[in-house]
Amino acid sequence: MPHGHTGKMLWVDLTAGRWRIEAQDPDPNFFGGRGLNQRRLFELQPEGKDGLDPQSPILLSAGPLVGTLVPGACRLAVDFRNLVTGGVGSANLGGHFAAEMKFAGFDQIVIQGRSPRPVYLLVTPETVVLRDAAGLWGVDTWETENRIKRLENDPRIKTLSIGPAGENGVRFACLIGDRGRAAGYGGCGAVFGAKRLKAIAVRGGLPVTAAHPEALLDEVVRFNREVIEKSDFVKVHRGGGTLAAYLLPGENRPHAVGNMSGEFWDNASIGKVDRAVFDRRYLVRRHACFACPVYCSSVYRVGDLVCEGLQANSWRAFASNLGITDPEMVMRLHALANRYGLDGDHASAVMAWAVECFQHGIIDREETGGLELRWNDGPTMLRLLEQIVAGTGLGAVLAKGLDAAAAEVGRGSRRLAVTAHGNALMEAAMRSHKAWALGIVTSSKGGGHLRGAPAVEARRISPELSRACFGIDDIQDPTAYENKGKLVAWYENYKGVVDMMGLCYLPSMWMELGLFTPDQIARFHHLVTGADGDAATLMHAGARLQTLEHLFNILHAGFGRKDARVPEKLARIPVDRGPFAGQRLDAEGWEQMLDDYYIARGYDPASGWPTRERMKALGLEEAGRRLAAAGLPMPSAEAAGMMGDVACP
């Protein structure tokens, strides 16, 4: 068994009700996690088949550091064809499932086909079996976990499941593990639902070995003592997560307000739903994901309602973006989204859009099923959320996703929808922080901040530090357009490394430059696997992964520069107050950033497609031949006006 890996993958054919185990050597080009998944997804995804087709696969993988003592090595990558964009579908969750899957003996699970009846997949070191799940169909994710533990007589089993949203085909249904851990983007919950797969349950017992165990232990102790425990980021986030840092006093922190119509919420509203309120009134305990020293998650209780995993994103989704100032309603919306198996970001985006449409007279009570949609109306938002899950009333339209809903409603509603590549956005600071906006829009998974959007842009780092870390002269001013394309490209490559290894993005250079540097990741990778490879090798692999995802998007969705558009609402409506008053996304500045971004990636700036020279440098010639055979040849660097492979790294 190779160190850091189990050396095995599990293939499951749900149509035939069969499975097989295959040996799997470590991949020196894509390593594991998201990288291994995306490599196989590119190979397996049939052209012309959407993500719900039985032939379309969904893949789960845990990287080589998962299951070891490396801090924060707890993430599971879930990859598939995106139901909203048609391109790359890629989700990621923490908790304990990824480590348990490796303890059960597998680096990767590949699922294809469609079961004739509801089933759940049980995986242990001793057995792989498809169990009947008819009695679980219609049950929420939390109760599914409880029942599977009882059925298997094992309270320590780990589950990944869908709720009614996935069963009913909501396009932004997600997978839930550990109650508060969600694989959110792209509709992976609906993919499970279409396959009639209710859940995967894993229980381990096998070790994940390290090539240099004593040196690894010494390095983990040193890293925790000298880096983690001295980190300002960790001190703020420990025990409170992103919510702790996000809800600091004052009005100067951008939020998503009123369907992203603004960036700043008043102190009076924030004070009713800030972290201190949640902790003082409702806190039960804190808890951590596997091997994590940050323990960013909180468990809250109000009456019979338990709320887990409330972070900054879910606060934006169910507080500021909907204008809700009742903390119990914020918790209830978040908890029900998890129990139903809904991506909270997309759910918030479609509900906030519906409220704004109602306020503008674009939709009326006849279309809403009698609901009067208003800001700061938690009970009505709960009813609308239930409509979405059940596919009734206006919810039947919203369940198709924001882009499709705006197209169906028409009547000028598109001007109120904020999307990128067809995916709904529920983001803060996009008007004021230019690299953040660029990273969200150019994300290979179709709009979202967890690829290349650099959180450090808000930290106003010095030019000296910027040059040392990124080779970029100055990124101090978040409102400036200069140098931001290269910064986003760097973070895309870096995030690829983080995801291939199975690390959490919080204790990383995304948040604080002194945390998991590429050099530190390379050190841990060597100690765990024994493989050589420095930081440059890893970052080159990150660039390879990012480019493969762009090729998937070109092949299956036709994406290019033409699709990396400024969301119209963010160009039309400026920030109305605060330190960034007057900021909006300027078309000329945006095009400048795109030029810089594509050149940094080694892509043709005109089309946004990789050049043949860049693909050769990354070892992606075979992928290029597949696109050429489909009538999609990549441009040459000479034709693009570029000199060879200019990208870095």
> Is the pLDDT score of 538 beyond 60?
yes
Q: Give the whole-angstrom CA distance, residue 127 versus residue 527.
A: 31
How far apart are alpha carbons 589 and 580 in whole angstroms? 16
The answer for residues whose C-beta is within 8 angstroms of residue 444's C-beta and 6 or more apart is 87, 88, 90, 451, 492, 546, 549, 550, 553
Alpha-carbon span 473 to 443, nearest angstrom: 24
How many whole angstroms separate alpha carbon 575 and alpha carbon 245?
A: 22
Question: Tell me, what DSSP letter sits at residue 428?
Answer: S
For the segment 52-68, the average pLDDT, to the nearest whole number, is 99
Q: Is the pLDDT of residue 484 over 90?
A: yes
Distance CA 569, CA 42 (A): 34
649: pLDDT confidence band, cut at 50, 70 and 90?
low
Structure confidence at residue 645 (pLDDT): 44
Question: How many residues does this entry show for the chain?
Answer: 649
Give me the domains of the chain, ranges plus CATH numbers: 8-202 (3.60.9.10), 231-424 (1.10.569.10), 434-629 (1.10.599.10)
Return the pLDDT at 237. Answer: 83
Round to whole Å and give the CA distance between 543 and 331.
Answer: 39
d(CA 326, CA 330): 6
* Angle in degrees, 0-180, between the axes of helices 484-501 and 434-442, rounded to the nearest 10: 50
Are the C-beta atoms of 97 and 178 separated by less than 8 Å? yes
pLDDT tens, residue by residue, 302-360: 889 999 989 889 999 999 999 999 999 999 999 999 999 999 999 999 999 999 999 99
**What span, in angstroms and rounded, lies between the C-alpha atoms of 249 and 230?**
23
Is the torsion defined by CA of 70, 71, 76, 79 positive or negative? Answer: negative
> How many other CB atoms sit within 10 Å of the CB of residue 326?
16
d(CA 601, CA 406): 33
3 state SS for 285-348? EEECCCCCCCCCEEEEEECCEEEECCCHHHHHHHHHCCCCCCHHHHHHHHHHHHHHCECHHHHH
- In this predicted structure, the answer to whether residue 644 has a pLDDT above a threshold of 70 is no
**Dihedrals phi, psi of 614, to nearest 5 degrees:** -65, -40
347 class by beta-carbon count within 10 Å (0-12 exposed, 13-18 middle, 19+ buried): buried
pLDDT at 456 over 90: no
- Cis ω for the linkage preceding 649 (within 30 of 0): yes
Tokens of 214: 């004593």
Q: Predicted confidence band at 300 (pLDDT cuts at 50, 70, 90)?
A: very high
Q: Residues 273-294: what's their mean pLDDT? A: 92
pLDDT number for residue 239:
75
Q: Copy the structure tokens of residue 42.
A: 């590119």
Token readout for 59 is 């893949």
Q: By mean pLDDT, which of 148-162, 197-211, 326-340, 465-479 is the weakest?
A: 465-479
Q: Which two tokens stand for residue 113?
A: 């086909």
Give the whole-angstrom CA distance, residue 95 versus residue 74: 6
Q: How many CB atoms lie within 10 A of CB 25?
A: 8
Find the helix packing angle between 344-359 and 327-340, rounded to 10°. 120
What pLDDT score does 646 carry?
A: 46
pLDDT for position 485 = 97
Residue with the larger pLDDT of the pair 511 and 355? 355
DSSP secondary structure string for all residues of 439-475: HHHH-TTTS-SSSS--GGGGG---HHHHHHHHS-S--
Q: Which residues contact 536 (CB under 8 A, 6 or more apart)?
A: 518, 649
Do 524 and 633 meet the contact criterion of CB atoms below 8 Å apart?
A: no
Task: State the pLDDT confidence band at 420, using cuts at 50, 70 and 90.
Answer: very high
First to last CA, the chain: 32
Q: Does residue 561 have a pLDDT over 50?
A: yes
Question: What whole-number distance in Å separates Cα of residue 161 and Cα of residue 573?
Answer: 40
Confidence of residue 643 (pLDDT cuts 50, 70, 90): low
The per-residue pLDDT for 240 is 77
| Banded model confidence at residue 246, pLDDT cuts 50, 70, 90 | low
Residue 244 or residue 323, greater confidence: 323
At residue 236, the pLDDT reads: 84
Average pLDDT of every residue of the chain: 95
Contact call for residues 104 and 123 (beta carbons, < 8 A): yes
| pLDDT of 178 strictly over 70 | yes
* Cα separation, 135 vs 285, whole angstroms: 32
Average pLDDT over residues 249-266: 82
Give this prediction's pTM. Answer: 0.97
Which pLDDT score is estimated for 385? Answer: 99
Residue 175: alpha-carbon gap to chain centroid: 12
Helix, coil or strand: residue 11: strand
Is residue 459 over pLDDT 90?
A: no
pLDDT at 295 > cutoff 60: yes
Written as one letter, the residue type at 258 is G
The set of residues, in sequence order, having a beta carbon less than 8 Å from that of 229 and lying 6+ positions away, is: none
Read off the tokens for 421. Answer: 């590549």
